[in-house]
Structures are given as structure tokens and as C-alpha cells.
Amino acid sequence: MSLLEGRVAIVTGAGRGLGRAHALKLAEQGAKVIVNDLGSSAAGEGADQTPAQEVVAAIEAMGGQAAVNTSDVSNWSDAQEMVQQAIDTFGRLDILVNNAGILRDRMLVNMSEDEWDSVVKVHLKGTFAPLHHAANYWRLESKAGNPVDARVINTTSHSALFANIGQANYAAAKGGIATLTQLAARELARLGVTVNAIAPRAETRMTEGLSKGQSEERMAKRDPEWIAALVTWLASPESKEVSGRVFEAWGYGYSVIESWQHGPQMEASRDPTTIGEGVKKIVGFARANAGIDRNTWLNP
């Protein structure tokens, strides 16, 4: 029995890279898939149905079922129509994988308002809008007495979790997604919906050029299929007890990100002239912020 037999999924940004790998792996495990992709460039420009059509064709060639969707996930009504398409085409919705995104990198002082707004819109609103409409479908199903066992997998980034320089717009949006994931997990638990996120490390057009000169072994560990395997398990009934978590993922392994924690404390004061030594002391006792280049087993 396949992990996802009889389940219906939406994967956003599924025409290339990670999204394509997610859609194919979900279908391989029995899911029927709405393949969403605008077909725009990595910077969010242009539109082309071909990438989504090619993924649907690949799924059908393996004996699966899939349909093309070219909605703009950051458009409120488009996101609603995408959710409705899954229901109308395949009769239900069980899985939402929010993967769509663009990049417009620039240092903070040089970033334009449009570069900020466009990236935050696609990533953060483009995660919230499909999640909102899917959650409302599951809420109505639950109120009607129909059992709900649904999954949401969002996409955050190491850029957000570890503050990568030159990506203020992208990091801010992805950081919002990480927190939204935790909040949504708490709000939707009563409906039978789990919500998790991944922070992937993969070689795609979004990371083109960043891996130049790396070994063949390291490049193999950046194959999107490693990440798609985790996403597929998180989308399955087996993951029912896992929610509100963020996972690092690539071929070197999977790791659970540990969220903000309460750290060292001191007495409060109404007088700002008296608190300096105490603040310095608790900062000295606190762990340093984790860095994106920290040499750990996930960053060999």
C-alpha cells in the first residue's frame, strides 16, 4: 500500500525544482496532484504553462492523476479557485504543499520598495492565502461531521532562520512563514490538520551558481528528491503526531529546528540607568545566535 493512496494534494510552484520533485514523489506514493505553477522566472517575471504541463505529463506517464493550475498563489481569489479546483477535479483535498517563491536579492540599503513588496507577497501572502482557503474547506468538512486528516507543509529557509546577508526581503518573508506554521498548527489541530515546514537545501534555479566548484558527492546531496521524501512522509497519515515543526532537509540528513526559547533573565527596573550591567550579564550567559555557516553535521 502506498503512503498516500486516495489522497489529494496541491503543490504550489510545482513546475520546476523542489516543487516538481514534491509533486512527482507525492504522485509516486499514490496522491492525485494539482500542479500549480505560473511558469515565471526565478525573479517572478513572465508566465508559461509548459513547466506545469510537463509535470502533469510525467505523473500521468507513471500511471498517476494530476491537473495543471496556473493561479497566482498571492492572489486571494486565485488561491481560493485553486483549492476549489482540487475539490471539483478529485473530490477532496488532503494535502497542501506551499512551495512557490521568487528571489530578488539585494543588500538592505540598496533594496527597492518593489523588491521588498514582491518577494514578501509571493512567499508570505502566497503561503497564507492557499492555507486560509484550504483551512476553511477543512473547517466546513469537520462541521459537517466528515473526518479530517489533512496536512500542510510550508517552505521556510535557512536564510530566515540564520539571517543570511543580502536577503532581507526573502528572509523576512520566510521567517514569517516559520512562525505562521507554528501558529497554524495550534489553531488547526482541533480540525485534524497538521502544519509543518521545511528549510530545504537543494540545487535548483533559485540557488543556481551558489554551488559552483563543489564536489560531485556534495552536489548529489543537494538533489531535491531527498527533500521530497520528507515532504511526502509529512503529507502521509503516518505523520499524524508531528505538527508545528520546522525541519532542515537535504541529502546529508533531516534535523528539527529548535525555535525561540526563554533564556537567561534578570530583574526589571523602571530606571534605565540601573539595567546596563544586568543586560550585559544575561546576554553573556545566553547562547549565541546560530549562524548559517556554522559547521555542523548538516553543513559539512
8-256 adopts what CATH topology? Answer: Rossmann fold (3.40.50)
Residue 202 has pLDDT above 90, yes or no: no
Write the single-letter amino acid at 181.
Answer: T
For residue 295, the model assigns a pLDDT of: 46
Select from 41, 21, 48 the least CA-distant residue to 33. 21
**Residue 204: pLDDT band by 50, 70, 90 thresholds?**
low
Q: Which of 25, 170, 236, 243 is catalytic?
A: 170
Q: Which of 118, 157, 236, 243 is catalytic?
A: 157
Q: Which residues contact 262 (CB under 8 A, 6 or more apart)?
A: none
Q: Which residues contact 276 (CB under 8 A, 6 or more apart)?
A: none
Q: Which of 121, 174, 236, 243 is catalytic?
A: 174
Residue 210 has pLDDT above 60, yes or no: no
Locate 271 and state its grid cell: 530606571
**Residue 290: pLDDT band by 50, 70, 90 thresholds?**
confident
Tens of pLDDT along 129-177?
999 999 999 999 999 999 999 999 999 999 999 999 999 999 999 999 9
Q: Can 174 be counted among the known catalytic residues?
A: yes
16-32 b/e with 16+ CB inside 10 Å = b?
bbbbbbbbbbbbbbbbb
Average pLDDT, the chain: 91
Complete DSSP assignment for 228-289: HHHHHHHTSGGGTT--S-EEEEETTEEEEPP-----------S-GGGSHHHHHHHHHHSPPP
> What is the spatial distance between Cα 293 and Cα 168, in angstroms, rounded to a whole number?
17
Tens of pLDDT along 234-289?
999 999 999 999 999 989 899 999 988 999 999 999 999 999 999 999 999 999 88
Complete DSSP assignment for 110-122: G--HHHHHHHHII
- Percentage of the chain lying above the pLDDT 70 cut: 88
Bigger pLDDT: 283 vs 211:
283
What predicted TM-score, i.e. pTM, was given to this entire model? 0.90
**Residue 220: pLDDT band by 50, 70, 90 thresholds?**
confident
For residue 228, the model assigns a pLDDT of: 97
SS3 53: helix
Tens of pLDDT along 43-84?
556 667 899 999 999 999 999 999 999 999 999 999 999 999
Q: Which residues pair with 194 in a beta bridge?
A: 151
